[in-house]
């Protein structure tokens, strides 16, 4: 940290045609984070005048990014809310790329990413599934995982955006262990949970019911739990998924490892639909994002809720200050 121990937070606004810019402005105003931290906003250079207007009233540091537009994309300088363009996707990617470079160079204490569609990576080969995987590769993460969370519940999906029919074949002992280790490190080092307790869900109803409803629990999940325990992690499982979240909500677990996307996101969004956030575990520099997409249908209407973006900003600030004498937002860790 520099500047009187004010943490440095990197921020991207996401697709300029989505709700990201408006949510960022309203979240900064609601949290006052710009008065306690240095907020560096990475934005395509040609969008700088528009971005200044979009974040009017916010005290931020602008990091304009120059780039060559994708062929035929043009350079949009005044995006239209709700109308994504190829230029806007390219501009979003360049801002993310620049922030990743700054993080890799040790210039940021934490990152917050605005919502983007998967199309921003369309020019890359291989194409990363999303911002999580892109940042993990750029920052050289040994292992990583998504933690979707709020004040009462934290979930970690082992598999993410894949068809449900593909999940059994994609589950591996190594994959579950990597998610568990990444989640444990994030809980301990970033969220200040002294000895994180993990519930590791079964895949099948009743956690396989002794093998009569599937063998993934005995063949893959139980060995993964044993390896986590051998590594010193307080992991329990395979836990029956229809009760795991109840016990997590009542303080028995600090996070729930889930075998597939909706097993994790269904309970999470039931409890934290408005105030959830997405924390990427395993990165050398923490990255947090709001738990929502671009919502083009709400862009420019003033009807979108900035609570999730505010939660992401506050968590990023909390993580960035974790070694400072005064811990801001300590309640987020509990």
CATH number of the structural domain spanning residue 124: 3.40.718.10
Residue at a domain's end among 241, 259, 277: 277
Torsion sign (Cα): 305, 311, 317, 319: negative
Buried b (16+ CB within 10 A) or exposed e, 307-322: bbbbbbbbbbbbbbbb
**Gap between the Cα atoms of 297 and 34, Å rounded:** 28
Average pLDDT of every residue of the chain: 92
Q: Quick one: average pLDDT of 192-199?
A: 96
**Gap between the Cα atoms of 179 and 258, Å rounded:** 10
Pair (213, 311) in one structural domain: no
Sorting pLDDT into bands at 50, 70 and 90, what band is 67?
low
Per-residue pLDDT reduced to its tens digit, 3-30: 558 999 999 999 999 999 999 999 999 9
Pair (128, 78) in one structural domain: yes
Pair (322, 218) in one structural domain: no
**Gap between the Cα atoms of 152 and 236, Å rounded:** 19
CB atoms within 10 A of CB 58: 18
Per-residue pLDDT reduced to its tens digit, 299-315: 999 999 999 999 999 99
**Gap between the Cα atoms of 230 and 252, Å rounded:** 20
- pLDDT, position 323: 44
- pLDDT, position 71: 39
DSSP three-state, residue 274 = coil
Tokens of 63: 């990091």
Pair (153, 244) in one structural domain: yes
- pLDDT, position 96: 98
Pair (185, 202) in one structural domain: yes
Residues of the chain above pLDDT 90, percent: 90
Q: Quick one: average pLDDT of 175-198?
A: 97
Residue at a domain's end among 277, 305, 323: 277
Residue 324 is part of which domain span?
1-141+283-334
Pair (194, 207) in one structural domain: yes
Residue at a domain's end among 262, 277, 292: 277
Pair (175, 271) in one structural domain: yes
Using DSSP, how many helices (H) and how many strands (E) does the chain show?
12, 11
DSSP three-state, residue 65 = strand
Sorting pLDDT into bands at 50, 70 and 90, what band is 216?
very high
Pair (197, 85) in one structural domain: no
**Gap between the Cα atoms of 76 and 90, Å rounded:** 10
Distances (CA, A) of 258 to 114, 132, 161: 25, 17, 13
Q: What is the dihedral of CA 247, 251, 252, 257, to 10 degrees?
A: 70
Per-residue pLDDT at 72 exceeds 50 = no
What is the layout of strands, in order, in the sheet containing 145-149? 61-65, 38-44, 8-12, 110-112, 286-290, 277-281, 145-149, 154-157, 255-258, 197-201, 234-239
Q: What is the DSSP code (8-state) at residue 300?
A: T
- pLDDT, position 78: 86
Pair (136, 182) in one structural domain: no
- pLDDT, position 143: 97
DSSP three-state, residue 128 = coil
Sorting pLDDT into bands at 50, 70 and 90, what band is 328?
very low
Per-residue pLDDT at 330 exceeds 70 = no
- With contact defined as beta carbons under 8 Å apart, do 167 and 260 qualify? yes
Q: Quick one: average pLDDT of 260-288?
A: 97
CB atoms within 10 A of CB 297: 12
Closest CA to 24 of 52, 2, 46: 52
**How many domains is the chain built from?**
2
Pair (65, 183) in one structural domain: no
Pair (150, 67) in one structural domain: no
Pair (27, 84) in one structural domain: yes
Per-residue pLDDT reduced to its tens digit, 94-133: 999 999 999 999 999 999 999 999 899 999 999 999 999 9
């Amino acid at each position: 940290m520099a500047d009187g121990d004010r943490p440095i937070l990197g921020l991207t606004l996401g697709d300029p045609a989505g709700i990201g810019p408006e949510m960022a402005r309203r979240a900064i105003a609601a949290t006052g984070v710009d008065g306690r931290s240095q907020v560096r906003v990475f934005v395509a250079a040609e969008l700088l005048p528009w971005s200044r207007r979009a974040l009017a009233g916010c005290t931020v540091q602008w990091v304009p990014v120059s780039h060559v537009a994708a062929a035929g994309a043009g350079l949009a300088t005044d995006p239209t809310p709700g109308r994504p363009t190829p230029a806007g996707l390219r501009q979003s990617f360049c801002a993310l790329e620049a922030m990743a470079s700054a993080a890799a160079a040790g210039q940021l204490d934490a990152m917050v990413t605005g919502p983007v569609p998967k199309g921003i990576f369309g020019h890359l080969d291989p194409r990363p599934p999303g911002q999580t995987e892109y940042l993990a590769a750029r920052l050289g993460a040994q292992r990583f995982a998504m933690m979707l969370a709020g004040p009462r519940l934290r979930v970690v999906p082992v598999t993410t955006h894949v068809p449900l029919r593909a999940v059994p074949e994609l589950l591996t002992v190594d994959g579950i262990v990597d998610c568990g280790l990444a989640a444990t490190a994030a809980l301990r080092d970033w969220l200040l949970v002294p000895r994180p307790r993990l519930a590791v869900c079964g895949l099948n109803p009743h956690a396989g019911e002794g093998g009569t409803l599937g063998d993934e629990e005995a063949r893959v999940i139980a060995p993964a739990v044993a390896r986590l325990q051998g590594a010193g992690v307080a992991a329990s499982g395979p836990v029956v998924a229809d009760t795991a979240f109840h016990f997590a909500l009542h303080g028995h677990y600090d996070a729930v490892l889930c075998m597939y996307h909706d097993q994790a996101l269904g309970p999470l969004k039931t409890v934290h639909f408005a105030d959830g956030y997405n924390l990427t575990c395993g990165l050398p520099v923490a990255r947090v994002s709001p738990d929502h997409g671009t919502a083009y249908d709400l862009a420019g209407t003033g009807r979108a809720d900035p609570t999730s973006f505010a939660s992401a900003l506050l968590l990023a600030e909390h993580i960035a200050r974790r070694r400072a004498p005064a811990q801001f937002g300590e309640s987020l860790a509990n």
